[in-house]
Amino acid sequence: MGALPAAKAEREQALAEIARNHHGALLRFLMIRTGSKAEAEEIAQEAYAKILALDRPGTISFLLGYLWRTAAHIAVDRKRQNSSRERGNFRVSRDESFEPSSETVTDERERLRIVEEAIDRLPPRCYEAFRLRVIEGKKFCEVATDLQISERMAHKHVARALEYLQYCLDVAAMEKQAR
Amino acid sequence: MNASLDNRHHGLERRLQAEEWYQALRRADPAHLDPEVIGRWQAWLLDAENRLAFDSVTRVLDAVHLTWKGKTRNPDEIASDPYDGSVRILDWLRSHPRPVAAPTAFPRNRPPALLALAAALIAVAFAVGTFVWRPGATIAVRPEVAKPALVYQTDGDASEDVRLQDGSTILLAAGTALSVSFTHAQRSITLTHGKAWFHVAHKPHWPFIVTAGRGQIVDLGTAFVVDREPAGVVVTVTEGAVQIDALPLSPLAKISVNSIPNSAATVRLTRGERISYDRQGVTGRRGRADIASATAWMNGMIEFDGVPLGDVVRTMARYAKPKIFVTPEAGRLPFYGLLSTKDGMGGFLWSLPQILPVSLVRGPRGVCVRMREEPPGESMSAGC
């Protein structure tokens, strides 16, 4: 008697603590995996709900590991579902219940256009280093070998490309604010 | 003058760390997500600058993944590329504009005319610091679109002068960013953050307009200071007069006129007057300003008049390197004093225990300021 509610209360408390300490990172992680803040929020909530529904006790560290794995799995599942639905050249929001304002659409389109043009302006070797690293996911030593440059140089090129792309986005944001 | 957004919050090293984490997390297999790795990442994220770097790298790379077209570059071009990463790409492109002609072997997915136009626009965009506007007969034919804003930004440690092509001068306080855009209709400045003093070359038919937050300051023959403080924007006129307007597009920007004996949504300030506004409208009454204290920063001095210690430290942190943490309670103590921005944080910091009931503790990440009687645990929660 009473063991179940107590366990539940404990579980809730543990979850509250986990959410307090990990929510920010979990959202960042899910945004990387999904590219959408709204979707990241949803998945996080879904993962929390699964933890609450667990019917066996667990230490915080167990629950924590479970939370991250569950969230990652949900993200992968959703991606699979979505990829069959969307083959468009760009995505505004996958969440159909959310009707993006025309402003959001233009903003997003504008941002993508800025990044695309900035990528085109990257110096050739820098572009290639960036492509191998970011798109193909190679290690820096592999990038270095492919391009016959030092690993330090590969690092430099990728960092400079990131710096430049961010600069272009920042300037555009400032100009928009000015308008 | 560091006329760019370059050094904002992250060096190249930090950016690379952020990119490493981004890649690792993006590619991690859910079934083998290592809690230890996540823990290390979270520890790394505890640093505010790391967090900023990570979020901006995420924004950039998300956009890259969405927009990637899979173009490849000509191998000869890659092999002979002289760029070596030692300067920013922005600066490199300024001194090495790319040829306009598209290489035929690697067709672009844009019609050539558009490409040429784009290249021309880019060339203009990266022309170093030259304004294309000139008074005279050419006004009518000059296309508006070809004049992008120039961005000026100061780093944490020094104020900088900018002399504009129209003869106006802007003095940017440390940690300030603004953009300048001249069209034939008007001279527009947007103060994104920080504080600046504008000494305007007055031209009756060419308005000089500073936008800061939800308001605009229109020059009427003047010098004035605009300060974007966390709580709102403070405008102080040091010479002549300005007019402050609500932003026409924003209903929020209605400047309330209750406290102002002036016409709706427009306030006129003259020498020695100051006003503050935020998104609700005018919040500070129009009052006499102490010009000496409003402009003290221009001589490397900042006056604090009962400002909470936490805010003082945040302001001074723009000028000095050592990391300083303040416990919440100590952060609420009012501080009075005139501090020099040129001496760094040191003198100010070590004098604190003499003027306030605080003590300094060295922590692993920097110096912590806490109340004398506060238990050490408080300093932990303050982040040091």
pLDDT digits (tens, 9 = 90+) for A19-38: 888 888 898 999 999 888 88
Q: What is the pLDDT of residue A45?
A: 87
pTM of the model: 0.47
Strand partners for B170? B162, B198
A163–B89 C-beta distance less than 8 A: yes
Distance CA B350, CA B369 (A): 10
Distance CA A125, CA A157 (A): 8
Minimal Cβ distance to A165: which of B60, B66, B188? B60
Strand partners for B339? B302
A178–B190 C-beta distance less than 8 A: yes
Window from B26-30, B87-91, B125-129, B198-202 with minimum mean pLDDT: B125-129
Q: What would the two tokens of residue B125 be?
A: 């965009």
Is the pLDDT at B379 greater than 70? The verdict is no
Interval B147-162 mean pLDDT: 71
Burial (CB count within 10 angstroms: exposed 0-12, middle 13-18, buried 19+), residue A115: buried
Residue type, A75: A
Q: What is the pLDDT of residue B146?
A: 37
- C-alpha dihedral over B124, B128, B132, B134, to 10 degrees? -170
Q: Touching check for B137 and chain A: CB below 8 Å? A: no
The answer to ipTM > 0.85 is: no
Task: Provide the mean pLDDT of chain A.
Answer: 80
Distance CA B272, CA B291 (A): 6
Q: What is the pLDDT of residue B108?
A: 36
Interval B82-92 mean pLDDT: 87
Q: Touching check for B144 and chain A: CB below 8 Å? A: no
Give every CB contact of residue A112 below 8 A, 6+ residues apart in sequence.
Answer: A90, B63, B66, B67
Share of chain B above pLDDT 90, in %: 6
Q: What would the two tokens of residue B300 be?
A: 């490397």
Interval B242-254: pLDDT, tens: 888 755 333 333 3
Distance CA A132, CA A143 (A): 6
Q: Touching check for B63 and chain A: CB below 8 Å? A: yes
Is the pLDDT at B101 greater than 50? The verdict is no
Q: What is the pLDDT of residue B220?
A: 79
Q: By C-alpha distance, which of B225, B356, B242, B349 is closest to B299?
A: B225
The C-alpha of B5 sits at a distance from chain A's nearest C-alpha, in angstroms, of 6
Q: What is the pLDDT of residue B19?
A: 94
Interval B271-318: pLDDT, tens: 888 887 776 666 655 667 777 777 777 767 777 777 888 888 887 776
Chain A residues in contact with B25 (beta carbon < 8 A):
29, 32-33
Between B354 and A67, the higher pLDDT residue: A67
Q: What is the pLDDT of residue A169?
A: 86
Chain B residues in contact with A68 (beta carbon < 8 A):
33, 35, 38
Q: What would the two tokens of residue A49 be?
A: 């709900």
Q: Touching check for A53 and chain B: CB below 8 Å? A: no
Distance CA A90, CA A109 (A): 8
Is the pLDDT at B256 greater than 60? The verdict is no
Q: Touching check for A33 and chain B: CB below 8 Å? A: yes
Q: Is the four-CA dihedral A118, A124, A128, A129 of positive or negative sign?
A: negative
Cα–chain-centroid distance for residue B14? Answer: 19
The structure tokens 């932990």 sit at B380
